[in-house]
Structure 1
Amino acid sequence: MPPLQYIQPIFYTIIVLNAAAAFVTVFRDRNRDIAATWAWLLVLIWLPIIGFIAYAFVGRKLPKNRLFRLRKETQIRLEQMIQRQREALGTELMPADAVTSSVRGMVSLFLNSDGALLSRKNRVKIYTDGHEKFHAMFQDIEAAKNHIHIEYYTFYNDQIGNELLHLLERKAAQGVDVRVLYDPWGSMGTFRSFFKHLEELGGHARPFLGAHSAILDFRLNFRDHRKIVVTDGRVGYVGGFNVGDQYLGRSKKFGYWRDTHLRIVGSGVFELQERFIRDWNATDAEHRIVPDVNMFPVIRVKGNTSLQIVSSGPDSDAQQIKLGYIKMIMTAQHRLWIQSPYLIPDDSVLDAIKIAAMSGVDVRIMVPDKPDHAFVYRATQYYARELADAGVKIYYYNNGFIHAKTIVIDGQVASVGSANMDFRSFKLNFEVNAFLYDADLAQELERIFLEDQKISSLITVQDFKNQSFWLKFKQTFSRLLSPIL
């Protein structure tokens, strides 16, 4: 045991070395958001060993050589397919100036920031119950003749996961081209061996960007949070449901699972198809997809929905979905209703919501009344308290767990997809949303919100004031970590 007079210098030396290592670790990434930079400094300095372990899981950037490298010939082929559809469908794929002035700015925003085509005359159905969503999706997969493309953040090795896998195996045995893209972290416990028989039958399954397991790819950030299904280039699914028993209400922890998902029939499927092809080819260059007419068929349906499929992720600095959220918030004149399991907005989104509320817009935000991640939930409560002070009506959903990611404004425009109202979805994960320009669908989502509101609790400013000091402390501390949650 060293003499007492040596302990203090050793202790100070460790503190100085740890602080120096923290500064070098954080500031070597010059493009990191300043809020995240200071949050990581706080963690690394105050939690010397634990902080660096956490940084290894959460803080590291995705190497540029693992970001999207789309082969030139594939890009050209995709552009040719999309151009073919535009020529064949004529007025069903239209420029921004062909829509009403109230949404023209939003359409232009997505065209300029993401190249997202405006698709018209789609048939769109909303699902809020997992049993109904999976029943419809299984029917569409069963009917597929040419290809099935599936991309999920979570694909669990459980009852519903095995039911879907066996269905895909049957289709692969029939000669249908089956491809599954999954995130290994979100699909914790699902290994490559789970898909072995599918691949023996001619199907393909890959972990996103080539990671083989959550253990080997120990990074919480830059996950594939998208949920995409495309069958025969004609039917597409996008929304919040993953593949797992908990999404069917089979988890005692969460109870009933309330989510929102879309089934799209029409030219809007093209953008989901293109997104999947890009993600697949970035992951597996050896078995890359060469787009053909079977993946982009000319389809005409009698629908009323105009929409844009918008993607965002760490492969772009544009934060396209976040910009869309801000545009919706600032466009709202009467009503702005939001559902999200996580409410951790950055300053730009937070200010936009406050401005809307203080301008007289009826702003309502619904979040769960129970946590699935402790720090995230406490940070959500902090921002809910801050927004309540600005006049926002905060509702805690009481009938299980609400996982829906929806925004609807004035009963005219809506967004449904995978992106939460938080830093992670804005900057750190790969996301996809459908922005819907259809009054009937928007009003249906409003009716769904009102039904959910009946089984939710309105949390008033006084309710937040009455919270204990310890609870407020946990909320405030979690808020300090919000840029990295």
Structure 2
Amino acid sequence: MNTVLTAGADAFGARESLAASGHPMIRLGSQGESVGECQSKLNRVDARLMRDAGSGLDNCPLRVDAIFGPRTRAAVVSFQKFAFPFQPAEWDGVVGPHTWAALDVHAATKPKGQIAPSALTPSRWGPLLAAAASSGVALRDGNAVRTLIDGRETFEEMVSDIRLAQGDGDYIYLLGWDISDDFNMIPGDAATTVRALLSAASARNVQIRVILWAKPPGANFLTVRFVNTLPNGAAIRDDLTANNHPMSEIDLVKEMVTGGVDGAAAAVLAAIAARDPVALTGAHHQKVLVIKRGETLLAYCGGLDINRNRLEPVSPSTGDPQHDVHCRIVGPAAWDLLQTFIMRWRHHPDGAKLDAGAKGPLRGVGERLPAPIPTPPAVADKDAPFGGVTSVMIGRTFNPVRSFPGAPPVLKERDIQKLVLAGIRNAQRFLYIEDQYLIDLDVADTINRVLPQIAHVTILIPGNAITEPTFMTEYRRDFMERALRGLSQADAAKLRVFQLSRSQTVPTFGPHCYVHAKTWVIDDELAIIGSANCNRRGYQHDSEVDAFMFGTTAGRGAVNSLAQAYRIRLWREHLGLPATALVDGVKNADNWLKGIRPATARVIEFDHRLPATKWQAVRDKAAEALRKFIDPVP
């Protein structure tokens, strides 16, 4: 499948063209075989919802009479609200390609965690992702993907690719949240600092363009200034973020007073929040590196910052070097990450000024969409180490700020949240999550609904003692309580949360215990790697980018998908077991549990419960008063 809905296309026209290639579009007044098929599938969805949730679709079960009347339309709208909960534009009662795709999936028999690894079907995620995404987001087939775990592996790949950019048409584009430009990305090699690598590339006539967040109070300033001194370099320090205005702190105090917090306490809480200026404004949190070298376009995205704390124990008491993940993509989806950089460049007024300067405009603007990589062995094992080509969808969170007169239009984007929730809702076997925060209540509610029908949800987070910001303990408790609400004891036991630890008896946070990753593996079929944490900030407020990836492997023994191979690598790192003991994401998940996990494991259970004390009640009130600012929506 290669579903591509281009940005700016008329949404209705796109639906019509897709409908023509599959099911016909049907609506009120339609008659015929397709209407009967739709009615039958609505009835099957209704029966499953009644069984699993106790409530079904409006006006179901329907009489299968092949006539699209008012009752059928009401049932369709009810289904669309279930299948697309955050997309009211889809609740139109018209059965087009998105609704047909969702019907096909939700009406199918849904096994409960009994799928054997050899029977994985990653391709089922094509229509599911396409149905959940907005019309400007493309599903790109034919990519070579390499999943990267931790700093050493990631930086070695980045250095190699940067050095291969050689010619007049080549370029290196970097989007960053925070950067250290003076450490050796390959230990012992002084030529692998960011400054050394970019200086050498610029001398080869490679175009260097960099956008870094204007992280308060002055982070990234020196790097931006350095890049602008390069003969072929230009850089922007980007402070155009949601809620970034001088009144932010005053607004915070007003909000808390309105919420019932007295003036003195409000002032104290404002001071707490002001320690982290992000809590009052917002951040550009995307971490993207795009490289054009010869005929090859490739890109990186994920959670890793180019920072020495991914390699060295800068602050070992807080878990450095941090555990993190990234991915490297060769193929059409790299072009979507290139467009992410171009959009950010055009969004800032300095982009136009720099384009008009002596160093010239972005070379990447005219880049053609790469052709899909056909099948192995057409790709190098280095590029696709799991032996197969991969389908990738790039989702973003972005809040445009009209920064100057005549600025090109930039769309508000919320696709990461839509796609993550669609992934949870359509899980058939299990969810595996690694996240820095784990506090989004929409995710908690969706996990709550899906837990009865899957085998387990296994989550890895950093311990409360080494996690910022303030009140993370309260927000994580709220997440867990929402995820467990109303479940039977058996279903509640399926939710398993762990933290990295140097000890299996008490939480001990030494080197490599801080989980900075933002990644999901669903059913060993879909892998998600990106910068968005599981919080409202990541899904609605800050600038983020995630890659949603699925594909089969070729000739790799018991491993049948990219997601499965990736999950096995993560579990090997945390549990210290060989790959052969971790092939089955359901049966082998018990290796995480106390009393079963091996002595080589570096994990311990996370307890979300907090004491019921007067002091805790005060903290609870303060946490709720600050929630909008610590975990905001714009």
Determine if the TM-score, normalized by the shorter chain, exceeds 0.5.
Answer: yes
1:228 to 280, 288, 297: 288
Give the distance between the partners of 1:384 and 1:455, measured in 2 at CA.
Answer: 24
The equivalent of 1:368 in structure 2 is: 462
Give the distance between the partners of 2:330 and 2:450, measured in 1 at CA.
Answer: 34
Contact 2:431 2:522 (C-alpha < 8 Å) held by counterparts:
yes
Q: Which has the larger radius of gyration?
A: 2
Give the distance between the partners of 2:238 and 2:540, measured in 1 at CA.
Answer: 17
Larger proportion of helix? 1
The equivalent of 2:34 in structure 1 is: none
Q: Which runs of 5+ in 2 are unaligned?
A: 1-6, 10-96, 102-121, 186-191, 249-276, 356-361, 380-387, 401-410, 502-511, 553-560, 575-591, 593-600
Give the distance between the partners of 2:617 and 2:434, measured in 1 at CA.
Answer: 23
Give the distance between the partners of 1:126 and 1:423, measured in 2 at CA.
Answer: 26
Q: C-alpha displacement at 1:297, in angstroms?
A: 5.2
Distance change (3 Å), C-alpha of 1:287 and 1:465: closer
* Match runs of 1:38-437 below 5 Å: 100-110=123-133, 113=134, 115-145=136-166, 146-160=170-184, 163-185=193-215, 188-192=218-222, 195-196=225-226, 198-208=228-238, 220-232=280-292, 234-252=297-315, 253-283=318-348, 284-288=351-355, 289=362, 291=364, 293-294=366-367, 296=369, 298=371, 300=373, 302=379, 303-315=388-400, 319-346=414-441, 348-369=442-463, 370-375=465-470, 377-386=472-481, 387=483, 391=492, 392-398=495-501, 399-437=512-550
- Matched residue SS, 1:264: strand
The equivalent of 1:444 in structure 2 is: 565
Give the distance between the partners of 1:437 and 1:193, measured in 2 at CA.
Answer: 36
Q: C-alpha displacement at 1:421, in angstroms?
A: 0.2
Give the distance between the partners of 1:115 and 1:224, measured in 2 at CA.
Answer: 21
Contact 1:234 1:299 (C-alpha < 8 Å) held by counterparts:
no
Contact 1:230 1:273 (C-alpha < 8 Å) held by counterparts:
yes
Contact 2:171 2:363 (C-alpha < 8 Å) held by counterparts:
no
Listed one character per residue, the Cα deviations across residues 150-190 of structure 1 (whole Å, up to 9, x for unaligned) are 11111135425881122101111221100011001179433
Q: C-alpha displacement at 1:290, in angstroms?
A: 6.1
Listed one character per residue, the Cα deviations across residues 400-419 of structure 1 (whole Å, up to 9, x for unaligned) are 10111111111111211011
Distance change (3 Å), C-alpha of 1:465 and 1:196: closer
The range that moved more, 201-210 or 236-245, is 201-210
Distance change (3 Å), C-alpha of 1:365 and 1:187: farther
Listed one character per residue, the Cα deviations across residues 32-54 of structure 1 (whole Å, up to 9, x for unaligned) are xxxxxxxxxxxxxxxxxxxxxxx
User: 1:355 corresponds to which letter in structure 2?
Assistant: R
User: 1:171 corresponds to which letter in structure 2?
Assistant: A
Distance change (3 Å), C-alpha of 1:472 and 1:433: farther
Contact 1:118 1:306 (C-alpha < 8 Å) held by counterparts:
yes
Listed one character per residue, the Cα deviations across residues 202-244 of structure 1 (whole Å, up to 9, x for unaligned) are 2011112579xx9999665332110111110611100000121
Distance change (3 Å), C-alpha of 1:419 and 1:186: farther
User: 1:281 corresponds to which letter in structure 2?
Assistant: R
Listed one character per residue, the Cα deviations across residues 71-125 of structure 1 (whole Å, up to 9, x for unaligned) are xxxx99x9xxxxxxxxxxxxxxxx998x944541212322xx1522221221111
Give the distance between the partners of 1:187 and 1:108, measured in 2 at CA.
Answer: 42
Give the distance between the partners of 2:321 and 2:178, measured in 1 at CA.
Answer: 18
Distance change (3 Å), C-alpha of 1:196 and 1:101: closer
Query: What CA RMSD, in Å, does the superposition of the two structures yield over aligned residues?
Result: 3.4
Distance change (3 Å), C-alpha of 1:230 and 1:157: closer
Give the distance between the partners of 1:132 and 1:101, measured in 2 at CA.
Answer: 31
Give the distance between the partners of 1:202 and 1:106, measured in 2 at CA.
Answer: 39
Larger proportion of strand? 1
Contact 2:148 2:154 (C-alpha < 8 Å) held by counterparts:
yes
Distance change (3 Å), C-alpha of 1:409 and 1:469: farther
How many residue pairs match? The answer is 388
Q: C-alpha displacement at 1:344, in angstroms?
A: 1.5
- Matched residue SS, 2:289: strand
The range that moved more, 197-206 or 224-233, is 197-206
Give the distance between the partners of 1:176 and 1:328, measured in 2 at CA.
Answer: 39
Q: C-alpha displacement at 1:435, in angstroms?
A: 0.3
Listed one character per residue, the Cα deviations across residues 385-414 of structure 1 (whole Å, up to 9, x for unaligned) are 413565221112224101111111111112
Q: C-alpha displacement at 1:445, in angstroms?
A: 3.0
Distance change (3 Å), C-alpha of 1:132 and 1:156: same
Contact 2:434 2:461 (C-alpha < 8 Å) held by counterparts:
yes
Q: C-alpha displacement at 1:295, in angstroms?
A: 6.4
Distance change (3 Å), C-alpha of 1:435 and 1:326: same
Listed one character per residue, the Cα deviations across residues 423-476 of structure 1 (whole Å, up to 9, x for unaligned) are 11011101100001125221123224433253221235xx73678775676466
Distance change (3 Å), C-alpha of 1:340 and 1:153: same
Contact 1:415 1:433 (C-alpha < 8 Å) held by counterparts:
yes
User: Could you state the TM-score of these two structures normalised by the residue count of structure 2?
Assistant: 0.55
Give the distance between the partners of 2:208 and 2:127, measured in 1 at CA.
Answer: 38
User: 1:287 corresponds to which letter in structure 2?
Assistant: L
User: 1:268 corresponds to which letter in structure 2?
Assistant: A
Contact 2:303 2:518 (C-alpha < 8 Å) held by counterparts:
yes
Distance change (3 Å), C-alpha of 1:340 and 1:471: farther
User: 2:173 corresponds to which letter in structure 1?
Assistant: H
- Matched residue SS, 1:395: strand
Give the distance between the partners of 2:298 and 2:471, measured in 1 at CA.
Answer: 34
Listed one character per residue, the Cα deviations across residues 287-312 of structure 1 (whole Å, up to 9, x for unaligned) are 34364555655574534211111112
Contact 1:227 1:238 (C-alpha < 8 Å) held by counterparts:
yes
User: 1:319 corresponds to which letter in structure 2?
Assistant: R
Aligned-residue sequence identity (percent) comes to: 23
Q: Which runs of 5+ in 1 are unaligned?
A: 1-74, 79-94
